Amino acid sequence: MSDRILILDFGSQVTQLIARRVRESGVYCEIVPFNRIDEAGLRAFDPRGIILSGGPASVTKLDTPRAPDAVFRLGLPVLGICYGEQTMVAQLGGEVQGGHHREFGRAFVDVIDDCALFEGVWPKGAREQVWMSHGDRVISLPEGFRVVGTSNGAPFAAIADDARRFYGVQFHPEVMHTPHGAQLLRNFTHAIAGCRGDWTMAAFKEHAIERVRAQVGKGRVICGLSGGVDSSVVAVLLHEAIGDQLTCVFVDTGLMRAGEADEVVALFREHYNIPLVHADVGDLFLGKLAGISDPEKKRKTIGATFIDVFEAEAKKIGGADFLAQGTLYPDVIESVSFIGGPSVTIKSHHNVGGLPERMNMKLVEPLRELFKDEVRALGRELGLPDSFVGRHPFPGPGLAIRIPGEITPDKLEILRQADTIYLEEIRNAGLYDAIWQAFAVLLPVRTVGVMGDERSYDFACALRAVTSTDGMTADYYPFDHAFLGRTATRIINEVRGINRVTYDITSKPPGTIEWE
Ligand code: XMP
Express each pLDDT in 363-408 by its tens digit: 999 999 898 889 999 999 999 998 889 999 999 899 999 999 999 9
The response to whether residue 509 sits with its C-beta less than 6 Å from ligand 1 reads no
* pLDDT tens column, 106-146: 999 999 999 999 999 999 999 999 999 888 999 999 999 99
Tell me what pLDDT residue 307 has: 92
SS3 readout for 259-302? CHHHHHHHHHHHHCCCCEEEEECHHHHHHHHCCCCCHHHHHHHH
Structural contact between residues 67 and 8, judged by C-beta atoms closer than 8 angstroms: yes
Tell me what pLDDT residue 302 has: 95
The response to whether residue 437 sits with its C-beta less than 6 Å from ligand 1 reads yes
Distance in angstroms (rounded) separating the CA atoms of residues 175 and 23: 14
The response to whether residue 397 sits with its C-beta less than 6 Å from ligand 1 reads yes
Alpha-helix residue ranges (DSSP H) falling in 394-513: 409-428, 481-494
Tell me what pLDDT residue 46 has: 97
Distance in angstroms (rounded) separating the CA atoms of residues 350 and 492: 33
Q: List residues with catalytic annotation.
A: 82, 172, 174
Tell me what pLDDT residue 435 has: 97
The response to whether residue 400 sits with its C-beta less than 6 Å from ligand 1 reads no
Handedness of CA 89, 91, 94, 96 (dihedral sign): positive
The response to whether residue 180 sits with its C-beta less than 6 Å from ligand 1 reads no
Neighbours of 411 (CB within 10 A): 18
* pLDDT tens column, 322-374: 999 998 888 877 666 554 444 566 666 655 567 778 888 999 999 998 988 89
In 3-state terms, what secondary structure has residue 22?
Answer: helix
pLDDT band at 231, cuts 50/70/90? very high
* pLDDT tens column, 185-224: 999 999 999 999 999 999 999 999 999 999 999 999 999 9
Strands 103-111 and 127-134, bridge-based pairing: antiparallel
Neighbours of 354 (CB within 10 A): 11
Average pLDDT in the chain: 93
* Amino acid occupying residue 85: E
Going by C-alpha positions, the residue among 386, 355, 381 that lies closest to residue 366 is: 381
Neighbours of 493 (CB within 10 A): 11
The response to whether residue 350 sits with its C-beta less than 6 Å from ligand 1 reads yes
The response to whether residue 464 sits with its C-beta less than 6 Å from ligand 1 reads no
Tell me what pLDDT residue 469 has: 81
Please give the number of the atom of ligand 1 that sits closest to the Cα of 468.
24
Structural contact between residues 85 and 134, judged by C-beta atoms closer than 8 angstroms: no
Helix (H) or strand (E) holding 181: helix 181-186
The share of the chain scoring above pLDDT 70, in percent, equals: 96
The response to whether residue 504 sits with its C-beta less than 6 Å from ligand 1 reads no
Residue nearest to atom 11 of ligand 1 (CA): 395
Distance in angstroms (rounded) separating the CA atoms of residues 200 and 205: 9
Please give the number of the atom of ligand 1 that sits closest to the Cα of 474.
5
Going by C-alpha positions, the residue among 256, 258, 301 that lies closest to residue 406 is: 301
Structural contact between residues 87 and 9, judged by C-beta atoms closer than 8 angstroms: no
Q: What is the CA radius of gyration of the chain?
A: 26
pLDDT at 17 over 80: yes
Distance in angstroms (rounded) separating the CA atoms of residues 111 and 158: 9
pTM given for the model: 0.84
Helix (H) or strand (E) holding 364: strand 362-364
Please give the number of the atom of ligand 1 that sits closest to the Cα of 508.
5
Distance in angstroms (rounded) separating the CA atoms of residues 84 and 65: 10
pLDDT at 18 over 70: yes
Residue nearest to atom 9 of ligand 1 (CA): 395
Residue nearest to atom 17 of ligand 1 (CA): 349
Structural contact between residues 253 and 306, judged by C-beta atoms closer than 8 angstroms: yes
The response to whether residue 227 sits with its C-beta less than 6 Å from ligand 1 reads no
Distance in angstroms (rounded) separating the CA atoms of residues 87 and 292: 53
pLDDT band at 72, cuts 50/70/90? very high
Hey, which of 232, 301, 347 would you mutate to test ligand 1's pocket, going by the most ligand atoms within 8 Å of its Cβ?
347
In 3-state terms, what secondary structure has residue 17?
Answer: helix
Structural contact between residues 181 and 21, judged by C-beta atoms closer than 8 angstroms: yes
* pLDDT tens column, 257-310: 999 999 999 999 988 999 999 999 999 999 999 999 999 999 999 999 999 999
Tell me what pLDDT residue 341 has: 42
Tell me what pLDDT residue 387 has: 85
pLDDT band at 516, cuts 50/70/90? very high
Going by C-alpha positions, the residue among 267, 264, 289, 292 that lies closest to residue 279 is: 264
Backbone angles phi, psi at 376, to 5 degrees: -65, -45
Hey, which of 436, 512, 513, 515 would you mutate to test ligand 1's pocket, going by the most ligand atoms within 8 Å of its Cβ?
513
The DSSP code sequence of 73-125 is: TSS--EEEETHHHHHHHHHTT-EEE-SSS-EEEEEEEEE-S--GGGTTTS-TT
Hey, which of 467, 514, 515, 516 would you mutate to test ligand 1's pocket, going by the most ligand atoms within 8 Å of its Cβ?
514
Residue 289 alpha carbon to ligand 1 centre in Å: 19
Tell me what pLDDT residue 340 has: 40
pLDDT at 449 over 90: yes
Q: What is the separation of C-alpha 115 from the centre of its chain, rounded to a whole number of angstroms?
A: 34
Residue nearest to atom 10 of ligand 1 (CA): 395
Residue 514 alpha carbon to ligand 1 centre in Å: 7
Distance in angstroms (rounded) separating the CA atoms of residues 508 and 189: 34
Please give the number of the atom of ligand 1 that sits closest to the Cα of 436.
24
Residue 304 alpha carbon to ligand 1 centre in Å: 17
Tell me what pLDDT residue 342 has: 45
Strands (E), 184-263: 221-225, 246-252
pLDDT band at 473, cuts 50/70/90? confident
Residue nearest to atom 4 of ligand 1 (CA): 513
Neighbours of 273 (CB within 10 A): 11
